[in-house]
Structures are given as structure tokens and as C-alpha cells.
Structure 1
Amino acid sequence: MLTSEQAQQLSKKESVISIFESKTNQVHTTRSWDFLNIDSLHQYNQLTIDATSDVIVGVIDTGVWPESESFSDEGLGSVPERFKGECVVGDHFTLANCNRKLVGARFYLKGFEAEHGPLESQNKTFFRSVRDTEGHGSHTASTIAGSLVPNVSLSGMARGSARGGAPTARLAIYKACWFDECTDADLLQAFDDATNDAVDVISLSVGQSPPQPNFFNDAISIGSFHAFRKGVLVSASAGNSGLPGTVANVAPWILTVAASSIDREFNSNVRLGTSKTLKGFSLNPLRMDAYYAVIDASTAVAPGASAANASFCKENTLDSALIKGKIVVCTIETVIDDRRSKSIVVREGGGVGMILIDPIAREVGFQFVIPATLIGQNEAKELQAYLTTEKNPVAKIYPTTTVLNTRPAPKMAVFSSMGPNIITPDIIKPDITAPGVNILAAWSPLASEATAERSVNYNIISGTSMSCPHVSAVATIIKSCHPSWSPSAIKSAIMTTATVLDNTGIPILRDPSSSPTTPFDYGSGHINPIAALNPGLIYDFDSNDIIDFLCSTGASIAGIQNLTGETLTCKNPPNPPYNLNYPSIGVANMNGIVSVLRTVTYFGDGPTVYIAFVDNPEGVNAVVTPNKLEFKETGEKMAFRVDFIPYKNSKGSFVFGELTWNNGIHNVRSPIGLNVVSI
């Protein structure tokens, strides 16, 4: 690791673009692809089985478990000749572990060891190779391009055929994360190699804890910019902080993915001694053969502990003499509580089961070391009433049943990070949402800490880490059908065809309380793979447009050069930042009338006419000029202007609407977000 003096000396060398301190980032299926209707792609677009086989996806994550059936190369042709990557051997990983599915494998640990010391000092299981001991990387990679594996489940839950969205695409694995942490230094090296190896898409389920710094000292922003410039789309997770203004990976050249649910629940219900059933949620394969006494943790306080801490089932707070052989009722303290550890505390005290009162994340599947389930507020009231009135309360926790076709779905996940974008607020972030709740995919059998000490080959987990690879897979399919499309064209196709309605036909709501949502929750909406293949119109932009955009935000020349690695000058006067040709429209600081410019490119057969329709944001009238676009042939570009005329101050918050171009076949939709400061 460099000292500050060495860094200063090194920065003076002409060959060095920039030096910044390496920071640490965190790593952020069966039913989900059915929910997205992916199989209809073959039916409606005549996709052959080989359509995606020449597309290569780079996955920067915790590595891969190569023996998983999801990474079988059966039926695949030879590795695309243009791929320049390598199969780097290492600890328990040989050349034989790569195949025509896993075409590349590299790993990076110098950054991690410089910051955290030798891997051995962590006292955890690891391999100095691409082999995955944490499961996260295997899960994301198989979600993107896992081969079809029939009759897969997690201990009987979510049973079905597991497959990636693009099951014939190739995977190049770049292991830059160790023990769920990824340093900037290792990430930058991985980006560099993936881009030079000629991958088509990079999937990154990794990000910094909020707040994200500027783009110019952030490895993900820098690495993804260079990938973008070379024609590689980067899809990245939005983060799991769940609060306004916490969205990560917000650079406009990144496709930023939020998380939402699918139409499936995992119910582990509680039956009380009165025969009353309480609805619970859990990934619980364990069976209780009898009813057991139930005790509220707050009444089983260990000597020296407080009743409050005992109610949260914290370590050393429960009296084992009181909970032995009983089901313990615990309560969540904060949304970031480690729920699994509470079951360990109960087990260590001799408890046989746990009912966790968790109104916030009850529908997110958790795994526990004893029979356990999560209940919401209404069920908690019923349970407390039973415990209060019954002298000898008893209950039984049932193993999980998988329930399909649930409504409404999707719903925004409680943990999914939200906008606004705090770095460049004129760009609405996230960009899109996709399935990220209770997703089944490949796993490392060594990663048993996350699976309640049970070794499994497939696991169900949640996070924007799970939604990101769904979008990466759709981008891969689009790239296979439109090989010449730029990253921003693919991004535009995904964004402008998204839907904002759930399967009941109403606007998407947010868990846990079914609250209304805005583009700061889901960006342009929920991904629609079929529509994204044929979007009608495209909003395209390149790295020169990005540089103009950064100049317009007031960024320093030195900062921008840090990102690009090139000397440059900014236009004077600069274009307004809201004029980047982005598929959504945002104006973060609107004083009076503002005119926003956009250009669309037509992709279709023969002449067509698109007409503009606007759903006005509250307190603003929008006028589109021209409001009719007449195209003669595919590839033709046309510009238009949207004049936003405010008549009401939005009082420091954004107001939302949408612009849709329609030609009778396609709806090309852009969300609008405006902060009206003055009229």
C-alpha cells in the first residue's frame, strides 16, 4: 500500500492518470423468469436457441462454483473467437473447471489484502482462486446465463426448473470480492480485464454504502465509464438501503437496477392452541411434530439484562431456564437486524422455535437454524392477545409452503434503495426495477452460514444483487438480437418499454405498507423483456455526450480527466445537464419555464408516425414541439423539445409525470421528474 508521500510522487508521472484512495464496496431462478414471461421471447421473436450463444457476460462478484449443474456447457458450441480472456488456475480451480459456458475466470486479491491483511487472517473459508465460497457470485451468474436444470428447489421450496434469462450466453467470471467485500483497487482491475477481454455486458451486484462520493474517485464509476466507451453495457445494483436518496451506482452511463417482488410467497404459518392460524413468512424446511409452549421473550429476561433487549432476543439476554423447550416470540429492533442470529440465540438457550414480529421485512425470505417464521403487525396483535388470555399458550410452526400467482405483484422491495440521485439529480435514478425478492439460483455448498448451517446447491436470497442479473440477462438477449446497438441504446430499450402497473392493473406499490411509488422507487418501471426487444424508438448518447453532461454539472476539468484519462476542454457555455439524451427526463432545479431537448432514433419497418402524449406533473404544463414525428426509414433521427411551464411551486420535492410517444404499436415512455423552485 502506498504512503501519502509515495502517492504524491507517483501522481506527478505523466503516465499516471489519477490516484485516489481505495475504498471498500459491499456485494449487494425458477419463478422469476416465468413471471417476466421470458419464454414468450422465442414465440414472438423467433429467437433460435443459439441466438444468445455468442454473447459474453462478465460477472464481477465473489466467483463461481463451477460444478453446479447451472454451469453445464452441454449443447453449446465453441467459445467465441473474439473472446480474449483467460482461465486463471488457482486453489481448487483448474483449467478443467472452465468450459464452453464458463469461458473465462480471473481473480483479484491484492487490493483486499493491502487493506485487510492476508486472506488467512479473516479466519473464514476461502480459496485463492475463482472458486466461490460465499454463494453470491454463483447466484448472480446463474440468474443471468445458467443452463436449464430441472427439478431444483431449496429443501423442497420453490421447486421448478432453474435457468438463467439467457441460458445459452457465455459467462466470464471476475472474482473481485472476498467475504462480501470488494475493494476499489480489485474492482478497477476486474473492469479493465473484462473490458479488454471483449465481454458484451458487465453485471455488477456491488456498491458502496451511501452516500456515494462523486464519480471521479469511485472505482465503479471510472471502470464502468471505460467499459461504456468501449461499447460494453454495465448493469449494476441500486443498493439495499431502502431510504430516499440512498441509491448507489448512479452514473448516467450505468444501468441502475432496483428490486421488486414476483408473484410468489413462502408461507410458514403458526397454528395456536385455539386452532387459530396466523400467516407467517419464512424459508423454513423444518417440521414440528407437536405443539410447544409459547413465551414472549420480554418475560424471559436473563439476570442483568433488560426486558427491552430480551424482547429483541439479543445475545445473553434470555433466561435459558424459562425458554427451554419453548417457542420464543422475539421482536425486530431495527430494519438492519440480523434476523438469523436471533434464532441462534434462542437455540443456544434451549428454545425449539421462534416467532419473529417483523412488520417491515416479513415477506423477505429468511432462513433459521430452528423452526421459525416472521409475522406482521395484525398477526402480532392476535398472538399477544392469545398469550395474555391463555394460561398455558401453545403453538406449532409449520414448514414453508410455496404459493404461486399471488397478487398484487410486483411490489417494490422494502430494502430497495431510492432516489433522488444525490450526485447528479437531473438524472432520475434508479433506472429500472426487476425481480429481487426470494430468488432461487445456484449456490456454493460451502456457504452454509447464509443457509442456516445447511449445505445446499441452490439457494433463495433477496436484494438488488438479485434484480441486477435479471436486467443483465435481458440486456444480453437484446445485444444478441441487435449486435450493433450501443450500451445506451440497449438501456433505452429496457427503460422506455417498462411497465408501471402490477398484475392487478394498478400502479406498483411499495412494501411493507403498500404505499404509493414514484420513479424514485422504480425508475422507468418494471422490466418487460418482450417489449424491450422491439422498442420502436431509442434515446442514444455516447461518451462525448457524457463529457458535455459532466461539464454542465460544474465538475472540474481535473475531475473529469480523472474519469476519462484524457485531456479535454468544456464547451462554453455548457449545455444544461437536463439535456443529456437520457430516456427519462429530470430537472432538479427548475426556475420558471424550462425547455428540454431530446433526440430519438427510429428502429422499425417502413414509414411510421409517432404522436406525443403527456401526463403533466402536478403544477406544470408540458408542451412537446413537434408533437408528431414522421419517420421514413429505420435509423432516422428526429429531435423534439419539451417546454415545461410551471404554475405552482413544488415546495422542495419532485413532482412526476410522463411523456409517451405512440405510433399505434409502440408506447415509448419516459418518466418526468421536476423540482419546481420558482415559477
Structure 2
Amino acid sequence: MTVLFALFSHVASTAAGNTGVSVLLNGFLYGRASGMAPRAQIAVYKAVYPTVGTLTDVVSAIDQATKDGVDIITLSVGPDEPPEDKFTFLNVFDIVMLSARRAGVFVVQAAGNHGPAPSTVLSYSPWAVGVAASGTDRTYPGSLLLGNGQKVGGVGLSGPTLGDGLFQYKLVLAKDAVKINGTFPRTPQYIEECQFPEALDRNVVLGSVIICTFSDGFYNGTSTLTAIVDTARILGIMGFILVANPTYGDFIAEPIPFAVPGIMIPSVADAKVISQYYEQQIQRDGRGFVTKFGARAAIGDGRVSSFKGQAPIVSRFSARGPDFIDIDKNPADILKPDILAPGHQVWAAWSPISALEPTLKGYNFALLSGTSMATPHIAGIAALIKQYNPLWTPSMIASAISTTANKYDISGEPIMAEGSDNLYPSTPFDFGAGLVSPTRALDPGLVLSSGYDDYISFLCSLPNMDPAIVKNSTGELCNHSLSHPANLNLPSVTISSLAGAQLLRRTVKNVGLKPEKYLCSVMPPNGTLVNLNPPWFTIAPQGTQDLDIQINVTQAMNNWSFGEIVLTGSLNHIVRITLSVLFQYPHEN
């Protein structure tokens, strides 16, 4: 059995929840869910509370979990911004993770949700596996059918209005239903956001579909969808639509289970379609008050899943590399994030108390998105690998996950990533080594291993590093340093300042049961020539082999350039080592 460390129900059940559990909300069965490692034991350490969450509490929890002998720590929590320490690797949070790694614990950490801007990762160190998030091919498309036959797509996990779309209801803009003589503030929350039922005329909205507008309150986080649902229930509103506001632009909408029919229209262009139809169908008097509501609409069922389209795609929110070494974001010789896993719209268990999310109060399941949701997928896969290979060290597990990852989507095309307003071909700074491949990771053929002493040597080799800082942070002396930080034996090669030529070394170990012959090949980063020595080798079970990597600059590029080393085994093992290089330009005099 493998023991996990998890921080809340959603994360714990993703990593190690029971298999085949029915996901039932508001009387609707969404399917069945299973944890990644259903037979693993879970140890939960409560460190974050609804009122406060301190670094001290989280560090104490990690220490306690390590003392208790857990095999894996999954951290869907951490600092929300770069540390103020001189070196990112030496902040308190990363040092306590190093201590856990020293004790033989596999540490997996959410990369952060500040994407898609570069250098937004919040997982810095080589001893923790930083996880990026992607979507899957499952979506929950909602629809709004207007009285003129137009159909507008949207988002929402609710049932349809009565009649299942065949019967349409009066469409009312919240502004047009506000009580004329009401004694309440004339703020967006009362006037257009449907937050307060006392502001609306029940006679106007009863049995209607009401249009609420994404305005100041939603933009500032003070208005909620829960309040709209409550307003609909109190006033007998048949359903609601939350539309985008041109003043604030498109908004990001995630499927949320509504107890009443509801749909979010996050696109300003789609919101204008609804507005134009609405205005064409109503009549107003000279003061602008509506005298006749002629618009009609019905909300379709938003609970039925659809499986089509590109997948995986790196999620927009998922934090990006390159990794950085200090608060000034000078690049580091470490690839971050490390790996990609599903983290967009993940079903998992939820506490009905729901202290932090009133929209989900009373539910036993939640559909959530974030790198926090991707992280326990890797933790559960690591648990399976650990049970299958109980003698493997954390770095061996991390290597197996990285070198067997997939860089292509379900159509065989390169994985794409969501930018601010478009898709673009992703790079290792979006997905790390690629999308995790659990089955292949169980039998990787070769692994690259690093230990605690190697991490200390890595720290001591960092540019401008004072050995006294390493001693104060870790208690260790800088007796040995790597010739270059990129010589840390990781399942990737990252050089943040390549000038002329650089010779590096990686050491692989055969974890298979038979001798195997490997052919070495390389797809060099643009602007480089990469030579591998030896070009091929035969390696015995549990044997090791050094691989020298000579990288020469042939044409300096203006930005990071990527490639990979591929070791192809005679027993069908394929080991991929990602290459990332940034060229150094000479300083002008």
C-alpha cells in the first residue's frame, strides 16, 4: 500500500478515491468517477482553514507527514507569488520540500494558475515535480434557444427550462424589471446583476427567463451566481442567463451545477445577439420603460457531456515557464513545469459544507479546474509506480513519468496551448515533458536518478551563490559543486545561457529485467548542433551508462529553442529527454 498526503476532498479523491463512484448532483447522474490509485491509503493533514492559511501551518504539515512515513506528498497549495528570497530554490517552502525528498518522499506540486504569461510558475526546484494543467475532450455545452430560432452557445450544468426547450418563456432584462419606487441603492448588484430579489418586480419576472449582466460586482468578485439562483427561487423565475458586458469584455465561465435552469454567455459577441433580439421584440414608452415583453427564450439541457475536439490542450490558466532563479526572474537551468496532466473540469469529491464556495454547498461532488486538480493525477500515478516498483527512489519515479510522456494530442498532432485569446503550438515551458502516460511510466526502460547530495551540489553550483547561504538554508557545506548547474542528472536538459559550446553528462540506469541495446538520436534545438557519445550502448539490468552531450552553437537565436534526445531500445522502450536552450549574447562595450 502507498500512503498519500492530500489537502482536501477533491484532491484526495482524485489521487486515491474509490473506483466507479456514481457522480450524482441535483438528481442527475453525470457518470462514474475513479481515483488514480483507488487502493492507496490517504493521510490528510489540515493546514489551511477558511479564515486563514499560513506558510508556517503548511510547512508543519509537510514535516509531520514526512515524520509519519508517507511515500508521496501532493501539494495543491503553496505561495501565490514568487518568494522574496535571493534564490527561489532556497525559500522556506522549497527547503521543506527538499527535506521531505531527502527522507524518500516523492513531492508533487501544482505549477500555479497565473498563466498564460511566461515565467509564472510557482514550482521552482528540481526536487519537486511541478504539474501543468490541460483539458480533455469532454465538454458540457449549454444552449439558449431564442424565439426567432437562433441558438446561442453557453456554459452551465443545469437542466432545461420546463418543456425541454420545446416551450419558450418570456425574456426579461433585469434592468427592465427593477421596481420603480424601490428603496435600495441603484448599484449594478441591484439593477442588473440579479443579486437582490427585493429590487425586482415579482409580477414582471414570475415564470420568465431573466437576463442578468456581468457587471461591476462580478468583475470585483462581490457578486455571486449563488445569489442569482436564490433570486430565481424566491421570485419564481423559470431560468436565468448571465451575459457578458461590453464594458468588461468576455469573461471566463466554468460549468457550475445550478439548482434552477441557468446558462452563462461569456462572449460579448453572443451577448449582443441576445440583446439585439430582445430589443427588437419589446416595446418601450417615452421614458424607456417596457410596455410589452415580446421576446421569448428557452434554456437547453447543459448536463449532457460531449466528447469531441482537440485534446489535450494546455489550459489558459496553467502557469508557464521558464523557471527562474531569483525575484528578478533571471532564468534557471531547470525545466518547469515538469509534466502535464488533466486539470480542467475535473469531477471529484466535495465537502457539502463548502465553506469557501457557497455555489457548491450541499453537493458531494464538484467539477473544478486548476493545476491543483492536475497535481493529484500525478500523485496517484506515482503511487501506482511506487507499488509496482517499491524500491524506486522519488527521482526514479519522476524520471519514469517524464521520459515516457507524450507530446502529441489524440489526433496525433502536436499539443496546443491556450493563450490570452488564441491557440498556439505549445513548448516545454507550457507542458514540461508532455502529457503523462501512466502505463508507459510503469515500465520506462531507463531512469535518470538524483539524490539529496546531488541537489546540494546543484545549489552550490548556482551562479553567484554564497556557500554560507546554502549552509544557513540546508545545514550542508558546499564540499562539492557541479561543473555547471545543468549537469544535475535530471530527465531533461535546460541551459539558460549557452555561449559557444557546452559539454554535459547524463547517467541512465536500466530498470528492466533484461539487457537492452539503445540507439541514441537527437532533434537539436534550432541554432545548435548536438553530439551524443556513445551513439549507442548495451546496458545490463540494474546497470548504468554515462551519456555525454556536446551542444555547440551554430546560429544564436533570439529566444529559447527546444529539441529532444531520444534513446530507442531494442525491447521497444523509448526514452525522451527534453532539450531547452537560451543563447547568451556578448555584452556591448
Q: TM-score range by the shorter chain?
A: 0.7 to 0.9
Out of 158, 180, 192, which is 1:284 matched to? 158
Q: How much does 1:300 deviate?
A: 8.3
Greater CA drift, 282-291 or 553-562? 282-291
Given the alignment of the two structures, is residue 372 of structure 1 paired with residue 262 of structure 2, yes or no?
A: yes
Tell me the equivalent position of 1:386: 277
In the alignment, the residues of structure 1 paired with residue 403 and residue 174 of structure 2 have an alpha-carbon distance, to the nearest angstrom, of: 50
In the alignment, the residues of structure 2 paired with residue 647 and residue 380 of structure 1 have an alpha-carbon distance, to the nearest angstrom, of: 52
Preserved contact between residue 361 and residue 414 of structure 1 (Cα < 8 Å): no
Greater CA drift, 587-596 or 225-234? 587-596
Tell me the equivalent position of 2:9: 138
1:342–1:603 distance in 2 versus 1, CA, 3 Å = same
1:583–1:673 distance in 2 versus 1, CA, 3 Å = same
Given the alignment of the two structures, is residue 559 of structure 1 paired with residue 469 of structure 2, yes or no?
A: yes
Given the alignment of the two structures, is residue 344 of structure 1 paired with residue 227 of structure 2, yes or no?
A: yes
In the alignment, the residues of structure 1 paired with residue 139 and residue 191 of structure 2 have an alpha-carbon distance, to the nearest angstrom, of: 27
Preserved contact between residue 409 and residue 415 of structure 2 (Cα < 8 Å): yes
Tell me the equivalent position of 1:128: none
Counterpart code for 1:291: Y
Q: How much does 1:246 deviate?
A: 1.3
Tell me the equivalent position of 1:57: 4
Given the alignment of the two structures, is residue 330 of structure 1 paired with residue 218 of structure 2, yes or no?
A: no
Counterpart code for 2:528: V
Q: How much does 1:662 deviate?
A: 1.0
Tell me the equivalent position of 2:563: 657
Given the alignment of the two structures, is residue 410 of structure 1 paired with residue 312 of structure 2, yes or no?
A: yes
Larger Cα-atom Rg: 2
Q: Deviations over 1:217-268 (max 9, x none)?
A: 6343122111101111011111111232111122110011111112211122
Preserved contact between residue 369 and residue 453 of structure 1 (Cα < 8 Å): no
Greater CA drift, 635-644 or 426-435? 635-644
Q: How much does 1:643 deviate?
A: 2.1
In the alignment, the residues of structure 2 paired with residue 274 and residue 558 of structure 1 have an alpha-carbon distance, to the nearest angstrom, of: 74
SS in 2 for 1:353: strand
1:174–1:235 distance in 2 versus 1, CA, 3 Å = same
Counterpart code for 2:241: M
Greater CA drift, 330-339 or 178-187? 330-339
Greater CA drift, 461-470 or 621-630? 621-630
Out of 298, 307, 316, which is 1:396 matched to? 298
Preserved contact between residue 615 and residue 659 of structure 1 (Cα < 8 Å): yes
Given the alignment of the two structures, is residue 205 of structure 1 paired with residue 76 of structure 2, yes or no?
A: yes
Out of 152, 158, 171, which is 2:42 matched to? 171
Tell me the equivalent position of 2:286: none
Tell me the equivalent position of 1:107: none
Q: Deviations over 1:114-164 (max 9, x none)?
A: xxxxxxxxxxxxxxxxxxxxxxx0111111111235432333566233321
Preserved contact between residue 594 and residue 644 of structure 1 (Cα < 8 Å): yes
Counterpart code for 2:4: V
Out of 463, 466, 480, which is 1:571 matched to? 480
SS in 1 for 2:373: helix
SS in 1 for 2:486: helix
Q: How much does 1:382 deviate?
A: 3.7
Out of 260, 268, 289, which is 2:142 matched to? 268
Preserved contact between residue 156 and residue 285 of structure 1 (Cα < 8 Å): no
Tell me the equivalent position of 2:127: 253
Tell me the equivalent position of 1:226: 99
Preserved contact between residue 229 and residue 259 of structure 2 (Cα < 8 Å): no
Preserved contact between residue 327 and residue 395 of structure 1 (Cα < 8 Å): no
In the alignment, the residues of structure 1 paired with residue 216 and residue 565 of structure 2 have an alpha-carbon distance, to the nearest angstrom, of: 42
Given the alignment of the two structures, is residue 354 of structure 1 paired with residue 354 of structure 2, yes or no?
A: no
Q: Deviations over 1:152-197 (max 9, x none)?
A: 2333566233321111111111111111753121112111111111
Greater CA drift, 461-470 or 319-328? 319-328
SS in 2 for 1:586: strand
Counterpart code for 1:417: A
Counterpart code for 1:608: E
In the alignment, the residues of structure 1 paired with residue 427 and residue 66 of structure 2 have an alpha-carbon distance, to the nearest angstrom, of: 34
Tell me the equivalent position of 1:548: 457
SS in 2 for 1:182: coil
Q: Deviations over 1:496-551 (max 9, x none)?
A: 11111111111112236332211111111111100000011111101111111111
In the alignment, the residues of structure 1 paired with residue 222 and residue 263 of structure 2 have an alpha-carbon distance, to the nearest angstrom, of: 10
Out of 629, 638, 641, which is 2:548 matched to? 641
In the alignment, the residues of structure 1 paired with residue 406 and residue 250 of structure 2 have an alpha-carbon distance, to the nearest angstrom, of: 28
In the alignment, the residues of structure 1 paired with residue 313 and residue 332 of structure 2 have an alpha-carbon distance, to the nearest angstrom, of: 25
Unaligned runs of 5+ in 2: 283-293, 326-330
Tell me the equivalent position of 1:238: 111
Tell me the equivalent position of 2:351: 444
Greater CA drift, 608-617 or 151-160? 151-160
SS in 1 for 2:108: strand
| Alignment coverage as a number of residue pairs | 544
Tell me the equivalent position of 1:35: none
Preserved contact between residue 285 and residue 400 of structure 1 (Cα < 8 Å): yes
In the alignment, the residues of structure 1 paired with residue 394 and residue 410 of structure 2 have an alpha-carbon distance, to the nearest angstrom, of: 30
Unaligned runs of 5+ in 1: 1-53, 62-136
In the alignment, the residues of structure 2 paired with residue 611 and residue 301 of structure 1 have an alpha-carbon distance, to the nearest angstrom, of: 77
SS in 1 for 2:124: coil
Q: How much does 1:556 deviate?
A: 2.7
Q: How much does 1:645 deviate?
A: 2.1
In the alignment, the residues of structure 1 paired with residue 413 and residue 29 of structure 2 have an alpha-carbon distance, to the nearest angstrom, of: 27
SS in 2 for 1:623: strand
In the alignment, the residues of structure 2 paired with residue 197 and residue 577 of structure 1 have an alpha-carbon distance, to the nearest angstrom, of: 33
* TM score, norm. by length of structure 1: 0.73
Out of 175, 187, 192, which is 2:63 matched to? 192
Q: How much does 1:381 deviate?
A: 5.2
In the alignment, the residues of structure 1 paired with residue 519 and residue 222 of structure 2 have an alpha-carbon distance, to the nearest angstrom, of: 52
Q: How much does 1:202 deviate?
A: 0.8
In the alignment, the residues of structure 1 paired with residue 69 and residue 298 of structure 2 have an alpha-carbon distance, to the nearest angstrom, of: 55
Tell me the equivalent position of 1:531: 440
Greater CA drift, 492-501 or 351-360? 351-360
Preserved contact between residue 216 and residue 559 of structure 1 (Cα < 8 Å): no
In the alignment, the residues of structure 1 paired with residue 316 and residue 220 of structure 2 have an alpha-carbon distance, to the nearest angstrom, of: 14
Tell me the equivalent position of 1:464: 371
Tell me the equivalent position of 2:491: 583
In the alignment, the residues of structure 2 paired with residue 148 and residue 264 of structure 1 have an alpha-carbon distance, to the nearest angstrom, of: 19
Preserved contact between residue 499 and residue 524 of structure 1 (Cα < 8 Å): yes
In the alignment, the residues of structure 2 paired with residue 160 and residue 319 of structure 1 have an alpha-carbon distance, to the nearest angstrom, of: 39
In the alignment, the residues of structure 1 paired with residue 506 and residue 542 of structure 2 have an alpha-carbon distance, to the nearest angstrom, of: 16
Preserved contact between residue 89 and residue 125 of structure 2 (Cα < 8 Å): no
For 1:4-19, list aligned pairs within 5 A.
none
In the alignment, the residues of structure 2 paired with residue 471 and residue 339 of structure 1 have an alpha-carbon distance, to the nearest angstrom, of: 34
Counterpart code for 2:252: A
In the alignment, the residues of structure 1 paired with residue 179 and residue 523 of structure 2 have an alpha-carbon distance, to the nearest angstrom, of: 57
1:449–1:606 distance in 2 versus 1, CA, 3 Å = closer
Q: CA RMSD in A?
A: 3.3
Q: Deviations over 1:331-364 (max 9, x none)?
A: 47899864971562686596751233385634x3
